[in-house]
């Protein structure tokens, strides 16, 4: 019998998106509109992503509001 706790239903996987780096122009891939350029180090702000970031409670290891 499987005694592991049941997994939460996982959210939809992030979507791979592409853009040109705003600093050096290299085409880069990102997830859900969030990018980090491996050439020059530019990254856009997380709020530019078009999905909200998962919260701590979405982490399968989350055990409660007081855990660290």
39 counts as binding Zn ion under rule CB under 5 A: yes
- Span of 1-9, 12-20, 21-29, 43-51 interacting with Zn ion by CB under 5 A: 21-29
Task: Please report how close the Cβ of residue 40 comes to Zn ion at its closest, in angstroms.
Answer: 3
Give Cβ neighbours of residue 15 (< 8 Å, ≥ 6 apart): 31, 32
Task: Please report how close the Cβ of residue 20 comes to Zn ion at its closest, in angstroms.
Answer: 9
- Write out the two tokens for 4: 């592991």
- Write out the two tokens for 44: 């856009």
End-to-end CA distance of the chain: give it in Å, rounded.
31
Q: Considering beta carbons, is residue 29 or 56 the nearer one to Zn ion?
A: 29
């Amino acid at each position: 019998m499987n005694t592991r706790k049941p997994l939460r239903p996982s959210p939809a996987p992030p979507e791979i998106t592409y853009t040109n780096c705003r600093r050096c122009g290299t085409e880069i891939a990102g997830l859900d509109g969030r990018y980090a350029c491996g050439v020059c180090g530019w990254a856009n702000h997380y709020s530019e992503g078009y999905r909200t970031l998962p919260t701590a409670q979405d982490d399968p290891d989350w055990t409660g509001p007081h855990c660290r």
